[in-house]
Structure 1
Amino acid sequence: MSTSASSEEVKTEPKEMVDVVTPSLKVAGTKNGDIILVPQPSDDPEDPLNWPMRKKITIFACICLAGFAAQMSPNSNQLTFIEQVPAYNKTVTDLLNSVAAALAGWVAGPFLLIPFVAVIGRSAVVFWSLVGVFICQIWGAEMTGVDDYIPFTISRLFCGLFGGIPAIIGSGYIIDMFYLHQRGKAFAVFEVLIIFAVVGGGTLGGFIAQTNPWNYVFWWTLGPVGAAIVLVFLFVEDTTFSRDPDVPTRAALPKNWFANRVATYLPGTKTQPAGKGAEFVKRAITPFQITFAPITLLMGTYIFVALGLPIMQASTLATYMQPPVEAGGYGFSSLQLAFFTMTAWVGIICAQVYGYFFNDTAPLWLARRRGGTWHTEYRLANTILPSILLPIGLGIWGSGLQYHLHYMVLALASFLIWFGALLALPVCYNYVVECFLHNPVETSVSLNAYRVTFGLISVFIVTQWQSAVGVGWMWGMGAFFIVFVDIIMAGLIFKGHVVRQWTAKLSTTIAVTEDGVTINRKAEDASA
């Protein structure tokens, strides 16, 4: 039975090779040797771990597109909101508040909507969230009158409420379909695409607004959002599956494609077992339990600062680059600003490549070097490089703005900021999700709040903060904040297992990890 990537040979360890009390183990043959599959797949063909890799990749690609399209929509005007000032006869600060409304939706939406996963399933929640984003983008595009500022801002709030949902639920699909030794790559691809949407959506909007009315930055998003709606409906299947015989399971879904689609999406209640009401309440409470667990508080603080500052940089970019030179800006047009954000694109793409090759390789290498036993903290080795690069990038950004250096200096800083941030984000998400393995979606709700909240707060305080200390020291302080959370990260790398023990004592039902399992075949043979 094929249970892993086509490049890996999956086989069952002969019983005589292991201790008599140890069940037969399935292993994957990779270029770095045999790896014991974690978790061990069941013999049930309904188990997503047993699906062909092409099916897994198809579903994963659709969820990636859904997360990308939904995430870029709420702030698709982040580089063009200044052009809306005369349309509504408002100030730049007022329009920046509309960007903040979308960020507020990103924070609140998952807490409000994710519990519905217990009622209609993950796939249905993704599908109907995309429909909500589609409607909100039409709503925002139509708000062009002088009295439409308030309805426009509300449209951004609701778009944010719906837009963050597919990005949150994606972690659940990764945990369901991929093994421990594959998740680093999957998280790297997914999380980088999600943040790329924040930057890339604005970039494309800037190109469009150069030769078209500003509301076209909303109209064009209907294409990718609509494509995501169609592809999710056609290809994404329910991936929830329990390997615990004591946990209630749903009845098998229909094999007929059309009947399966109806059962999954209209409205999707058949994808969930009995007891939906109790499960709804549980899923509403669990994100708050995870948010305030010791391990999440520490990692969340790192994410709050290390990912919040880049979001602040992207949200305020237009206020620095578009004002005329005599006013202290760079006089960039929407087109020039769009080209400038390509520096962040390069940083994000480089982070994607780096993460693909090292997010699994480095922790697995550490596991082999340390006896073949897996420890969750091995994931965090990949945060060392971004922890160095981020404060350097923020320091250069602040100095460049303070002394009005050439915009290429700012371009270098932007590259370093986004390269560092996108190296760290997938690793942090992967690590914390693996600390709460049975609740990957609820964990992502918590981490999303930490990630976005700083960017949201910064929109309201950036003017006063900059007036108080100057633009150079504002970003310089940001660099020192990164150094502070780097100390927290160092503590987690060396003592994260202790913090997880504290978490387990406080949250015994949700603090589930794979820590301590044997992942290296030779180590398993040696212990037999």
Structure 2
Amino acid sequence: MSQSSASTAVEDGHSHDDGPEYPPGTVMLHSKLKTEKENKLTLVPTPTDDPRDPLAWPMWRKCLNFGLLSATTMALFTGLSIQHIFWAPMRKDLNVTYDDLTRARAAQLGSEAIACVIFIPFAKKYGRRPVYIASTFTFTWASWWSAYMKTVPELFLSNIFKGIAAAVNETAVQMSVRDMFFVNQRGSANAVYLAALKFGTSLSPIAAGAQAAKTGWRSSYVTLSAVMTVVTLLFAATFEETKFIPRAQGNAAEKSRRGGARLQTGDGVDSTRGETVAPPPERVRWPRDMSLQFLTTTDESIWRTMWNPIHVWWMPHILAASFIYGSSLALIIILSSMKSIIFPAPPYSFNPGQLGLLQLAPFVGSCLGIFYGGYLVDRLIVWLARRNQGLYEPEMRLYMMPLPAMVMAGGLAMFGITAGRGMHWIYPCIGSAMTSFGFGALGDMVLTCVIDAYPNMVSLAFVAIAFFRNTLSMIGTFGLGPWRGSMSVESMFIIVAVASLVINLFALPLVIWGKKARTVTAARYRRLAT
């Protein structure tokens, strides 16, 4: 196939020839359009001429919409992350043990695993907006409940409902990233999302801990709930739907409802993107013509969409991303939980305010890691594609993985050895920052690689990834009590560090054989993406 024909690749990232040279995910990122010496960056996916298409939105409108999504994400993950700072006072107020608190956190993770399987198909069929709104309202209600809970069952139930709401948000976000951004922008978009997530998990707890030290842990939950209420109302009023149905498909859907042919759609309902399907509509005027419809319905089967993740989890890119991201997050959760057990006890004797300040180090590390895995990798793939005759391969995002993999393993070992020996708190903080740098970079790289490799199957892929990830995290949290009782903190984290390094080696087969794997799975991908 010539370069000129390759540059007309369709949205799902494979050429019209569908040969082994252009499997799903391989796209022409550079094409020689005017002269043999002039390279132009090709927009992949190709936007339509319809101004309702989120890909065709001006950048300020994309940033505004994604900013709302990031703000909501930050608030949600603040609610998921602050509880472990309050464990010491909560033990007294609720008459619970550390084992009860870790089990409640495990229940939250278990509900996340199940909820993404059940509710994400609704985001695919009815649009992202109604699912986002329902999840934020649910989380706000559960946050108010947490502020006034008095019993152990309430602790478990409030955590379960927060887990359900968060699972929907974090999985659907990847669908919106795919809806709004081009291939060379997705790493940076995911970096913004992960930065918001880390702000919620690392920086917000500093303020929550300081407030709890002065006025009690319940007041921190009241503040969170009030903020969540405002964010939820703002989100419901202004967040625009990112699912796009081209006009030709919208007409087909209407015919289908009247007894015509059945409309089959992919993840972004964009199998016709880049084709001339109808005259462009009148110019959209913002905010008058904002996409605030509550439902954007297409003809997928809910039951089929719930079942299909079983058929995708074993595909090499999805399996590797699930294992790398899920296992790494489980190790981060173990580190976070151990902070809440080690530092309130001698020789540190930290109060909730001081525990909150410990989150500053991982926040700094995460920001550096997200910049590395997002912006720098986005720049790298453009350069690599230019050197590869214009062709971009999703595995190119993994070329910079060795550094964060080694830094993360070193950080885990440093945290465990220094905290286990009761050394000055700065040393565990450095280890925590190194760990977060590694996780931030690795997470951005592997998740964006999956989006690029199977772009029309994002919802199915991320349901599988989220289920696998939350299941591993739940197992790690449940096993934390017996594990820490059977060996020293130093021994625990040496094992964890070695495990982290071994886990990240699973990216190596993708780098070597990833394109071949995409070629082998191309037929299954196209079948599941329709």
Pair 1:113-2:138 in alignment:
no
Matching residue within 199, 210, 213 for 2:213: 210
Does the CA contact (< 8 Å) of 1:362 and 1:382 recur in 2? no
* Residues 214-229 of structure 1: pairs in structure 2 closer than 5 A: 214-229=217-232
Bigger shift: residues 446-455 or 105-114 = 446-455
Distance 1:450 1:81, change over 3 A: same
Aligned partner of 2:166 in structure 1 is 163
Aligned partner of 2:133 in structure 1 is 127
AA in 2 matched with 1:157: I
For structure 2, the 5+ residue unaligned runs are 11-27, 33-37, 255-280
**Inter-partner Cα distance in structure 2 for 1:215 and 1:347:** 29
Aligned partner of 1:172 in structure 2 is 175
Between the aligned residues of both structures, percent identity stands at 22
**Inter-partner Cα distance in structure 2 for 1:23 and 1:487:** 32
Alignment deviations for residues 431-476 of structure 1 (CA, whole Å, 9 cap, x no partner): 1122221122332222223333333222211122223332212111
Distance 1:22 1:60, change over 3 A: closer
Aligned partner of 1:91 in structure 2 is 97
Deviation at 1:358, TM superposition (A): 0.3
Specify the SS of the correspondent of 1:160. helix
Aligned partner of 1:336 in structure 2 is 354
Deviation at 1:257, TM superposition (A): 8.8
Pair 1:346-2:371 in alignment:
no
Matching residue within 186, 189, 202 for 1:186: 189
Does the CA contact (< 8 Å) of 1:394 and 1:417 recur in 2? yes
Specify the SS of the correspondent of 1:41. coil
**Inter-partner Cα distance in structure 1 for 2:31 and 2:400:** 24
**Inter-partner Cα distance in structure 2 for 1:20 and 1:391:** 41
Pair 1:482-2:482 in alignment:
no
Aligned partner of 2:259 in structure 1 is none
Alignment deviations for residues 313-333 of structure 1 (CA, whole Å, 9 cap, x no partner): 1133110111122xxxx2111
* Residues 311-326 of structure 1: pairs in structure 2 closer than 5 A: 311-325=333-347
Does the CA contact (< 8 Å) of 2:30 and 2:40 recur in 1? yes
**Inter-partner Cα distance in structure 1 for 2:6 and 2:157:** 63
AA in 2 matched with 1:160: G
Deviation at 1:423, TM superposition (A): 0.8
Matching residue within 484, 489, 492 for 2:510: 492
**Inter-partner Cα distance in structure 2 for 1:88 and 1:290:** 43
Does the CA contact (< 8 Å) of 1:312 and 1:454 recur in 2? no
Alignment deviations for residues 345-399 of structure 1 (CA, whole Å, 9 cap, x no partner): 1112222333453020112211112222111111112322211111111111121
Aligned partner of 1:10 in structure 2 is none
Please give the TM-score of this superposition, normalised by the length of structure 2.
Answer: 0.83
**Inter-partner Cα distance in structure 2 for 1:282 and 1:192:** 34
Pair 1:70-2:72 in alignment:
no
Q: How many residues align?
A: 480
AA in 2 matched with 1:176: D
Aligned partner of 1:292 in structure 2 is 314
Aligned partner of 2:260 in structure 1 is none
Specify the SS of the correspondent of 1:322. coil
Alignment deviations for residues 2-29 of structure 1 (CA, whole Å, 9 cap, x no partner): xxxxxxxxxxxxxxx9579969999899
Distance 1:256 1:53, change over 3 A: closer
Distance 1:510 1:396, change over 3 A: same
Specify the SS of the correspondent of 1:272. coil
Alignment deviations for residues 59-111 of structure 1 (CA, whole Å, 9 cap, x no partner): 11111112221232234312112211111222121122222222222222211
Bigger shift: residues 316-325 or 92-101 = 92-101
Aligned partner of 1:54 in structure 2 is 60
* Residues 16-55 of structure 1: pairs in structure 2 closer than 5 A: 34-55=40-61
Does the CA contact (< 8 Å) of 2:147 and 2:219 recur in 1? yes
> RMSD across aligned C-alpha pairs, in angstroms?
3.2
